[in-house]
């Protein structure tokens, strides 16, 4: 019960730093903590000075747990080092996309499918940010009413792309307000005062879909163990600094009123209901940013389907959509005596 663990966090960007903050916030039993990245440097994280080390195969010697921060859309450090670390006895939780769909790698949201951790072989995948907040809502609805199909449109903040994207939005806003034209480096279009339905690269598996949309389809099916669930996704980048939102339409197997669904979601772990539209109460990014829960509102019957619901979903994509979920996986491993 009193054992402590040598922990490594791989990555010192937005997600890596947030992983460190949350490990410290939640008093994870740490004996030693090292931060690894592509180069040596000093970083202040959670008010503490850390000496960031360059990641090498030898970095994982005597490390019990490694959290890889991951970089969406790129082959990151986990592709190079994760399997080697596991072979040396380190348990790896990977936030990147490289291993999520491999059959022997559990893809885990603890509130939804923590039982799959029993099947791990040293490597566990953290789902995509937009997938995590969606399945947190879908899972209790599936359990209560059953799901026939899912349609989702996302409104995704620039923090999901990383620090350079946040800086790009800041620079473009400043340039626009001063009558200048800002450079565009990160995105295919200007992001300030603009939206575009383009996250990732075009998929060969799902023609016409971008890879972020495919992740939501495939990962949701795996997490919920519903391999044939019909899902359609449109993922949109919006000029918001932090906090992803989703417009979710579900068709249920059993009819349910909006109030019945509201009650199910009120009782779901990790979900908070903010739903008083007559008072302008519903989740918005600036109010849910920095919070752990997934927030839902605008729950209403959908007139296009006989047993349909429309739901608005918002969550902090850096916390629950990445760092917090990874730490919760580690905490669940401790509870199940799997670490």
Q: Is 244 designated active site?
A: yes
CA separation for the pair 97, 79 (Å, rounded): 10
Task: Return the closest-CA partner of residue 167 out of 201, 195, 193, 192.
Answer: 192
> Active-site residue among 64, 120, 129, 235?
129
91 forms beta bridges with 65
Q: Is 245 designated active site?
A: no
> Active-site residue among 64, 120, 235, 244?
244
CA separation for the pair 176, 171 (Å, rounded): 9
Q: Which residues are marked as active site?
A: 129, 244
């Amino acid at each position: 019960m009193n054992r402590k663990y040598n922990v490594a966090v791989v990555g010192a960007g937005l997600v890596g730093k947030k992983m460190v903050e949350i490990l410290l916030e939640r008093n994870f039993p740490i004996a030693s903590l090292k931060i690894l990245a592509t180069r040596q440097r000093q970083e202040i994280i959670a008010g503490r000075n850390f000496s960031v080390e360059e990641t090498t195969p030898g970095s994982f010697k005597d490390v019990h747990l490694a959290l890889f921060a991951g970089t969406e859309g790129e082959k990151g450090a986990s592709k190079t080092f994760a399997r080697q670390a596991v072979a040396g006895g380190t348990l790896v939780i990977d936030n990147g996309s490289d291993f999520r769909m491999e059959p022997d790698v559990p893809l885990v949201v603890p509130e939804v499918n923590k039982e799959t951790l029993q099947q791990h072989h040293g490597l566990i995948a953290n789902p995509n940010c937009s997938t995590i907040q969606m399945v947190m809502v879908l899972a209790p609805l599936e359990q209560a009413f059953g799901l026939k199909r899912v349609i989702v449109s996302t409104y995704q903040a620039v923090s999901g792309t990383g620090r350079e994207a946040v800086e790009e939005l800041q620079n473009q806003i400043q340039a626009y307000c001063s009558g200048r034209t800002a450079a565009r480096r990160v995105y295919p279009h200007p992001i300030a005062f603009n939206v575009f339905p383009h996250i990732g690269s075009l998929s060969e598996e799902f023609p016409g879909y971008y890879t972020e949309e495919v992740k939501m389809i495939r990962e949701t099916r795996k997490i919920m163990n519903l391999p044939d669930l019909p899902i359609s996704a449109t993922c949109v980048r919006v000029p918001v600094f932090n906090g992803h939102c989703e417009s979710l339409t579900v068709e249920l197997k059993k009819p349910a009123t909006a109030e019945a669904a509201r009650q199910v979601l009120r009782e779901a772990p990790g979900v908070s209901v903010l739903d008083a539209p007559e008072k302008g109460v519903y989740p918005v990014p600036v109010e849910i940013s920095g919070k752990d829960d997934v927030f839902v509102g605008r729950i209403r019957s959908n007139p296009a389907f006989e047993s349909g619901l429309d739901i608005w979903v918002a969550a902090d994509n850096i916390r629950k959509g990445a760092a917090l979920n990874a730490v919760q996986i580690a905490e669940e491993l401790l509870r199940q005596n799997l670490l």
